[in-house]
Structure 1
Amino acid sequence: MTPRTDLTRSLLAAVAGIPGLRPATSSTTPIGSRVPWNLDASAVAVRDDVVEIRLVALVLPLPAVLSRAEAALHAVLEGTMWKDARLRLVVTDIDAAALNPADQAR
């Protein structure tokens, strides 16, 4: 394992603990479960100066959920060689259910 791989796993674990977000991956179909690697890792790019995480929003409003994500993810970066890197959260999609809160109540 490399430090980048370890950081990617830690960042994905933090995202998993944030209600209303999930990693934006290239496949959400059952075939994705058959590949021998974690597809969620494709949502994370770790460079020396920028850590980028691509996300799908499952709830709105975005500012509230992204503030929680920012705090949780900065905590993961603290104490690593990326503590001073810029954290970039990119919302690539909004789940349709987030646009119809009445559907979520059912």
Structure 2
Amino acid sequence: MTAPAGTVAEVVLAAVRKVPGLRPATPQVTRMPWDLELLAVDVAPGDIEVRLVALVLPLGPVLRLAETVVRQALADVGRERTLLRLVITDVDATAFDQGP
């Protein structure tokens, strides 16, 4: 049995929060009575899309770590076969200021 979509979104969001260098892409709104970061996660029966902002470069290692962490979280709720899309919607300006 798989978890309900709302629970899956919360599980995915909790996993993403563990990955340094990424944050959920959220609208610039204040004082909303719910977790705006949940808006960065779309859950459908066969796929999940997570919109992210990169805080560090290069993207490859950060995205590989994010995929590993999120896939493990999905396996824990019975969604291990779900198609996962991690979409970088923006790169924070501070990512360009970091040295090699």
Moved over 6 A (4+): none
In structure 2, C-alpha distance between the alignment counterparts of 1:13 and 1:84, rounded to whole Å? 19
From 82, 85, 94, give the equivalent of 2:79: 82
1:25: which partner in 2?
26
2:41: which partner in 1?
44
Give the helix-richer structure, 1 or 2.
Answer: 1
Q: What's the % identity of the aligned pairs? A: 44
Q: TM-score, normalised by structure 1?
A: 0.85
2:95: which partner in 1?
98
Report the Cα offset of residue 11 of structure 1: 1.0
DSSP 3-state at the match of 2:73: helix
From 59, 63, 67, give the equivalent of 2:64: 67
Q: What CA deviation, in whole Å up to 9, does each residue of 1:20-63 have, x standing for no partner? A: 00000012xxx52x111110000000011111000000000000
Give the partner amino acid of 2:41. Answer: V
User: Structure 1, unaligned stretches of length 5 or more?
Assistant: none
- The count of corresponding residues between Structure 1 and Structure 2 is 97
2:52: which partner in 1?
55
User: Does the CA contact (< 8 Å) of 1:20 and 1:58 recur in 2?
Assistant: yes
In structure 1, C-alpha distance between the alignment counterparts of 2:17 and 2:79, rounded to whole Å? 20
Give the partner amino acid of 1:57. Answer: A
Please provide the CA RMSD for this pair.
1.4
Give the partner amino acid of 2:52. Answer: L
2:4: which partner in 1?
3
**Higher RCO, Cα 8 Å, sep 6+:** 2
In structure 1, C-alpha distance between the alignment counterparts of 2:33 and 2:65, rounded to whole Å? 31
